[in-house]
Amino acid sequence: MNTKKKEILHVEGLSISFRQYTHGWQQRTITPIKALNINVRAGEVHAVIGASGSGKSLLAHAILGILPANSQCNGYIFYKGQLLTEQRKETLRGRKIAFVPQSVNYLDPLMKVGRQISLGLNGNKKLQANKLLKAYGLTKIDGQKYPYELSGGMLRRVLFATSVREGIELIIADEPTPGIHQEALQAVLKELRLLADNGAAVMMITHDIKSALTIGDRVTVMREGTAIETSSVSAFSGEGNKLQHPYTKMLWLSIPENQFINCQEDQPWL
Q: Residue 157: inside a domain, yes or no?
A: no
Q: Residue 47: inside a domain, yes or no?
A: yes
Count of domains forming the chain: 1
Q: Residue 162: inside a domain, yes or no?
A: no
What is the per-residue pLDDT for 153? Answer: 81
Percent of the chain residues topping a pLDDT of 70: 93
Residue-wise pLDDT tens digits, 70-91: 899 999 999 999 999 999 999 9
Q: Residue 202: inside a domain, yes or no?
A: no
Average pLDDT over residues 167-177: 90
Q: Residue 264: inside a domain, yes or no?
A: no
Residues 46, 216: Cα–Cα separation, whole Å: 6
pLDDT band at 3 (very low <50, low <70, confident <90, very high): very low
Higher pLDDT, 20 or 214: 214
Q: Residue 216: inside a domain, yes or no?
A: yes
pLDDT band at 261 (very low <50, low <70, confident <90, very high): low
Q: For residue 143, which of 173, 116, 108 has the smallest C-alpha distance?
A: 116
Percent of the chain residues topping a pLDDT of 90: 57
pLDDT band at 248 (very low <50, low <70, confident <90, very high): very high
Residue-wise pLDDT tens digits, 22-36: 877 888 889 999 999
Average pLDDT over residues 257-269: 58
What is the per-residue pLDDT for 136? Answer: 82
Average pLDDT, the chain: 88
What is the per-residue pLDDT for 86? Answer: 93
Tell me how crowded residue 254 is: count the other CB atoms within 10 A of its CB.
14
What is the per-residue pLDDT for 65? Answer: 94
Q: Does the pLDDT of residue 249 top 70, yes or no?
A: yes
Q: Residue 139: inside a domain, yes or no?
A: no
Residues 198, 201: Cα–Cα separation, whole Å: 9
Q: Residue 117: inside a domain, yes or no?
A: no
Average pLDDT over residues 134-157: 89
In the chain, the N- to C-terminal Cα span, in Å, equals 28
- Domain containing 216 equals 1-93+210-259
Per DSSP, the three-state class of 59 is helix
Tell me how crowded residue 17 is: count the other CB atoms within 10 A of its CB.
16
Burial class of residue 242 in the structure, from the number of CB atoms within 10 Å of its CB (0-12 exposed, 13-18 middle, 19+ buried): middle
What is the per-residue pLDDT for 1? Answer: 43
CATH of the domain at 56: 3.40.50.300
What is the per-residue pLDDT for 264? Answer: 52
What is the per-residue pLDDT for 227? Answer: 95
* Sign, Cα dihedral of 270, 35, 60, 20: positive
pLDDT band at 231 (very low <50, low <70, confident <90, very high): very high
Per DSSP, the three-state class of 220 is strand
